[in-house]
Amino acid sequence: MSQLITKAKVLVDKAIVAARPQLNEFWKYAKVELSPPLPADFQKLKQTAETAKNMQGQLKKSGLSQVTVSEVWLNFLVTVEVITWFYMGEVIGRRHFVGYKV
């Protein structure tokens, strides 16, 4: 039984040593990304909201807000067709579906 406990302790120690670089990187990013917002962040947010509000006003003035659903659907289908032809051209150029035959 003591051998099992010793082996388990050695295994846990090895796991901790192996995981240390990943944990250090995780904590480095967690300190930055998971910190609460600072007062300066709220100022930036306010400026961003004002910019978005201005962009909405410009969008209404430009007439892009008057696009119908059928026009949007047609533009989407044309985009899908162009992308499909691009990928089919790639397949034809390679003369193989998956990759280049070497």
What are the backbone angles phi and psi of residue 38, rounded to the nearest 5°? -95, 165
Length of the chain, in residues: 102
Based on the fold, state whether residues 1 and 31 are members of the same structural domain. Answer: yes
**pTM of the predicted model over 0.85:** no
**Contacts of 90 by beta carbon, 8 Å cutoff, 6+ apart:** none
Range of the domain at 52: 39-66
Residues 55 and 72 in one domain: no
Residues 11 and 22 in one domain: yes
* Domain shared by 8 and 30, yes or no: yes
**1-13 core/surface letters (b: 16 or more CB in 10 A; e: else):** eeeeeeeeeeeee
Q: Are residues 99 and 85 in the same domain?
A: yes
Same domain for 29 and 44, yes or no, is: no
Does the pLDDT value for residue 11 go beyond 70? yes
For residue 77, what are the CA distances in angstroms to 59, 65, 84, 90, 95? 23, 20, 10, 20, 26
Has residue 97 got a pLDDT over 90?
A: no
pLDDT tens by residue, 45-85: 999 999 988 887 777 777 666 788 999 999 999 999 999 99
Q: Are 95 and 85 in the same domain?
A: yes
